[in-house]
Amino acid sequence: MSGEAKHQYHLVEPSPWPLVGSMAAFVLTLGGVLYMHENTYGMPTMGVGLMLVLATMFYWWRDIIREAEYQGHHTPIVQIGMRYGMLLFISSEVMFFVAFFWAFFDRALFPAGGIWPPEGIVTFDPFDLPLINTLVLLLSGCTVTWAHHAIVEGNRRDFMIGLGLTVGLGMLFTALQALEYSHAPFAFSDGIYPSVFYMATGFHGFHVIIGTLFLAVCMWRGALGHFTPKQHFGFEAAAWYWHFVDVVWLFLFVAVYIWGR
């Protein structure tokens, strides 16, 4: 009785995962450096580092799910802190993409030789596959919002349907993006336009894959009976992330595919 908590805050227990994660990131980075210097041990080291990073992510998030679902540590006041944390994370991701857009607009507004896109570069038709991908991603934003409203209202059936549709649309977007790349009339090393194009759209595609996995885990948790109308921040964070991916793509579509053409 004397050891019972007298507050709603979560005092996190000692965890090995911050240390293990740091070591895993170091091994992954070391492997990447060795690989770029064409060292024999580069690829194996990078593979070990990647497996350690993935294992750290799995076990760390497993512990967080246990804290939320079974130990009751994620009280309303704790969830406020988690919301602030997710907002700060998304803000850092916004600045990540700002760097690529800055590079794109710097070259587009002040092009070498006064020509943009550079001479010899054949750009994509924005109203072909890019437009289809835009519609797919916008529809996925609608389905994830539907799922969010469903879980708030306690409608688990619609929650699972909306979440399943969102995951499917995310996979479709990735497949269409790969198809577009396979028909690209330029390579990454063909100049500033291809480099910025592939960096911006490629990293966005990577974020779509991460967001799809994020939502797929939420779908699996939903099938296990997790999430309630009052406690579903794990899914809410995934939905925020997915809307962020939506907005970045809209900006990419307008700035790079249409205006940049």
Is the model's pLDDT at 202 over the cut of 60? yes
For 64, the token pair is 């967080």
SS3 assignment, position 140: helix
For 141, the token pair is 């934003």
Asked which of 102-116, 170-184, 213-227, 241-255 is least confident by mean pLDDT, the reply is 102-116
Closest CA to 86 of 246, 252, 243: 243
SS3 assignment, position 111: coil
Distance CA 215, CA 213 (A): 5
Distance CA 226, CA 163 (A): 14
Q: Per-residue pLDDT averaged across 203-209, rounded? A: 95
Q: Is residue 254 within 8 Å of residue 241, measured between CB atoms?
A: no
Q: Decide which of 1.10.287.70, 3.40.50.800, 1.10.10.10, 3.40.190.80 is the CATH code for 1-73.
A: 1.10.287.70
Mean residue pLDDT of the chain comes to 92
Domain ranges of the chain: 1-73, 75-259
Bigger pLDDT: 155 vs 3: 155
Distance CA 50, CA 28 (A): 6
CA dihedral 26, 29, 35, 37 (to 10 degrees): -100
Stated pTM of the model? 0.89
Is the model's pLDDT at 170 over the cut of 60? yes
Contacts of residue 211, defined as CB under 8 A and 6 or more positions apart, other chains included, come to 170, 238, 241, 242, 245
> What pLDDT does residue 2 have?
53
State the pLDDT confidence band at 46, using cuts at 50, 70 and 90: very high
H helices of the chain, in order, are 17-36, 42-69, 76-109, 129-152, 156-182, 192-223, 233-252
1-73 and 75-259 share one CATH topology? no
What percent of the chain is modeled with pLDDT above 70? 98
Residue type, 148: H
Name the superfamily (CATH) of residues 75-259.
Answer: Cytochrome c oxidase, subunit III, four-helix bundle (1.20.120.80)
